[in-house]
Amino acid sequence: MIFTILGYILVILVVAFVLEPLFKKHRTLLQDRGKQAKEYLVQLGTSQDTLRDIELDMQTGKLDQDDYQQIVQESLQEQKAIREKIGKLAGMSYEKWQHKLLSEIGQEPQKQEKNICSQCGAPVSPDDRFCAQCGHKINF
Ligand SMILES: [Zn+2]
């Protein structure tokens, strides 16, 4: 009987010894992924900042329209690529991942306001109380 128990303990010890590095490897993998995701988010933020900066440069005349358009296109492409990378890392689309993240920290994702009339689809501004096209009451 005692040998059976000792036998079990030995088996458990051996299994634990073998599996431990695997768990460790898995854990580092998750940590690496987190680090990588953070890096991508920083890149995304930088790209969004760039977009804001050049918008200002355009408004103040430091940048001409063509250059502005080009940089905007490049920035948007870059952001799309980064979002795809984050999505790949998370195993889901970036939007879904962000949604999940926000709900995990107890925050409702921002609702995208559709600034169109629900009656006729004409564009309306959030300040409008009635649609200029069809007179439908606007509720935001
Ligand atoms: Zn309308």
Report the pLDDT value the prediction gives residue 133, as an integer from 0 to 100.
Answer: 84
Report the pLDDT value the prediction gives residue 97, as an integer from 0 to 100.
Answer: 86
Query: Lowest mean pLDDT: which of 2-11, 31-40, 68-77, 127-136?
Result: 2-11
Which tens digits make up the pLDDT trace of 85-106?
A: 999 988 998 888 888 888 888 8
Report whether 51 contacts 75 (CB < 8 A): yes
Average pLDDT of every residue of the chain: 83
Average pLDDT over residues 31-54: 89
Report whether 44 contacts 82 (CB < 8 A): yes
CA of 95 to the centre of ligand 1 (A): 30
Residue type, position 30, single letter: L
CA of 113 to the centre of ligand 1 (A): 16
CA of 130 to the centre of ligand 1 (A): 8
Terminal CA-CA length for the chain: 75
Report the pLDDT value the prediction gives residue 114, as an integer from 0 to 100.
Answer: 58
The contacts of residue 57 (CB under 8 Å, 6+ apart) are: 63, 68
Burial 89-104 (b: 16+ CB within 10 A, else e): bbeeebeebbeeeeee
Residue type, position 5, single letter: I
Examine the pLDDT at 34 and tell me if it is beyond 90: no
Average pLDDT over residues 38-44: 91
Examine the pLDDT at 135 and tell me if it is beyond 90: no
